[in-house]
Amino acid sequence: MSAKERREQERARVRAALIDAGRAMFISQPYDEVSLRAVARTAGYSAPTILNHFGSKEGLIFAICEQDFGALRARFERIAKVADPVDRLRRLGEAYVDFAMENPHHYRFMFMSNHPAPDPAQFPIDRSNPDLDAYAFLRATVAEAIATGRFRPECKDADLVAQVIWSGGHGLVALHLTKGDDPALTFRPIKAAARLLIDATLRGLLKAED
Amino acid sequence: MSAKERREQERARVRAALIDAGRAMFISQPYDEVSLRAVARTAGYSAPTILNHFGSKEGLIFAICEQDFGALRARFERIAKVADPVDRLRRLGEAYVDFAMENPHHYRFMFMSNHPAPDPAQFPIDRSNPDLDAYAFLRATVAEAIATGRFRPECKDADLVAQVIWSGGHGLVALHLTKGDDPALTFRPIKAAARLLIDATLRGLLKAED
DNA sequence: TTCGTTAACTTTACACTGTTAATTTACTTA
DNA sequence: TAAGTAAATTAACAGTGTAAAGTTAACGAA
């Protein structure tokens, strides 16, 4: 093994250690309550080391999320095998809501925080590959259902339909994450709401016979 | 005028000045990019004066939002006169989306930020009065539509149905506010999406004959 | 009128934050 | 062995929200 390779391996090891330490804290605390210094301390490094590896605090959090979103991708891959595109949409919605509630801080950072899109050079997300990108997967499934004539005639635009469906799922999750503990809002169990939401949205978008 | 009254009036004047200065900055910048010191400076006071009046930074921002949400309430009051509850729901959805897009930072703070519910003593929002609270208004309208037999039989729970409808609207708005400038997501115009979303959601929830 | 009280505001200070710059340390290579 | 390089460190910067202490002015009672 060359010296350069060894250096790179060591660098990857440190990077992994920082991500692990960061994840341990980020699982239980949201983005803005996890301080770089705290992560660095638990990892056994100093704060600027994180910046050296990830460029910024957001870079670190994004790296953590990027890794853990593999779990969502894995579920998508299983769902991709479902033959009927409408069934697939249903399963997709359930998986999306489940994932968000299991990883609230990840979800919050990825879909509810306003940050410039991460540097594609450092974190390449293939937006055109449905296997890797959640929205692309949704859009492709919608397009398939449109192509096979399942949607109502006014639903010809796959992006528009996908965005309407995504809005429902995201809204349900986001409200629960931000307002779920508001005692004045008697939230119904999210599972029940998700079921009604998915059923109603699809019924409203699909042709009557479905 | 008694001295005490004069003092209270002066206090209200300062309070209004702080709110005005805060609003001017908060219109164009989100919550976390508006610093107390900056607001205080433009209002001609020192930072702790804001804390004296509003208890915390969030207290100030909430006071600003609380005032400006009067515009939303005014629209709701007009909509309240619409006879048909389903028509009312439609109008409600449109008004909600419009308001959010016209006041993105207010919306972000009120519905997309995680803060403990504001002290009810200082900011009393009557949750039971539909004229004042957006969710209460939505819920009451849903309940009326349920009572008059417009919704499908599985839609008996006004809270559940209201939360499903709210999810759609909130999700659409929230996605546009956080991801609206992501070049990889070709967002369709929000007006068009809102129309399809509202149509589809209601069609999916209402009885077929509607 | 004068004195003590009170309220409102300011200055100062604290404990943080993410980030940058300068510096040290260790290792590789010529 | 000497030079060079990469990666860590410490120190420092410019902010933040907020708490405590100090200042000033107006008020009510003697």
Q: Give A183's DSSP letter.
A: T
pLDDT for res B26: 96
Q: Is the pLDDT of residue B53 over 70?
A: yes
Q: Is the pLDDT of residue A131 over 60?
A: no
Whether residues B111 and A184 touch (CB distance < 8 A) is answered with no
Q: State mean pLDDT over B55-77.
A: 93
Q: Are residue B142 and residue B152 in the same domain, yes or no?
A: yes
Q: Which of A87-91, A150-154, B10-14, B87-91 has the lowest mean pLDDT?
A: B10-14
Give the tens place of pLDDT for each residue, B123-173.
Answer: 666 655 565 588 999 999 999 999 999 999 999 999 999 999 999 999 999
Q: State mean pLDDT over A33-52.
A: 97
Q: Look at chain B and report how many structural domains it folds into.
A: 2
Separation CA A127–CA B85 (nearest Å)? 42
Which of A151, A163, A186 has the highest number of chain B CBs within 10 A, making it the mutation to test binding with B? A163
Task: Give domain status of residue B35, yes or no.
Answer: yes
Separation CA B22–CA A41 (nearest Å)? 37
Q: Is the pLDDT of residue A1 over 80?
A: no
- As given in the structure block, the two tokens for residue B64 are 């600003």
Q: Are residue B48 and residue B88 in the same domain, yes or no?
A: no
Task: Give domain status of residue B210, yes or no.
Answer: no
If you average pLDDT over every residue of chain B, what do you get? 91
Q: Are residue A148 and residue A180 in the same domain, yes or no?
A: yes
Please report how many Cα atoms fall inside a 13 Å half-sphere around the Cα of residue B166, on the Cβ side: 26
- As given in the structure block, the two tokens for residue A145 are 């259902």
pLDDT for res B6: 80
HEC per residue, chain B: CCHHHHHHHHHHHHHHHHHHHHHHHHCCCCHHHCCHHHHHHHHCCCHHHHHHHHCCHHHHHHHHHHHHCHHHHHHHHHHCCCCCHHHHHHHHHHHHHHHHHHCHHHHHHHHHCCCCCCCCCCCCCCCCCCCCCHHHHHHHHHHHHHHCCCECCCCCCHHHHHHHHHHHHHHHHHHHHHHCCCCCCCCCCHHHHHHHHHHHHHHHHECCCC
Task: Give domain status of residue A210, yes or no.
Answer: no
Q: State mean pLDDT over B188-206.
A: 98
Protein residues with beta carbon less than 7 Å from any atom of strand D: A 7, 10-11, 14, 40, 44-49, 52-53; B 2-4, 6-7, 34-38, 47-48, 51, 56-58
Q: Which structural domain range is residue B13 located in?
A: 3-67
Whether residues B113 and A178 touch (CB distance < 8 A) is answered with yes
Q: State mean pLDDT over A176-188.
A: 92
Separation CA B104–CA B48 (nearest Å)? 27
Q: Are residue B77 and residue B56 in the same domain, yes or no?
A: no
Task: Give domain status of residue B163, yes or no.
Answer: yes
Model confidence at A5, in pLDDT bands (50, 70, 90)? confident
Q: Are residue A58 and residue A139 in the same domain, yes or no?
A: no
Q: Are residue A40 and residue A125 in the same domain, yes or no?
A: no
* Nucleotide minimizing C1' to CA distance for residue B54: D18
pLDDT for res A101: 98
Task: Give domain status of residue B73, yes or no.
Answer: yes
CATH code where residue A150 lies:
1.10.357.10
Taking CA atoms, A84 is separated from A91, A198, B195, in Å, by 11, 16, 27
Model confidence at A118, in pLDDT bands (50, 70, 90)? low
- Nearest-Cα residue of chain B relative to residue A112: B178
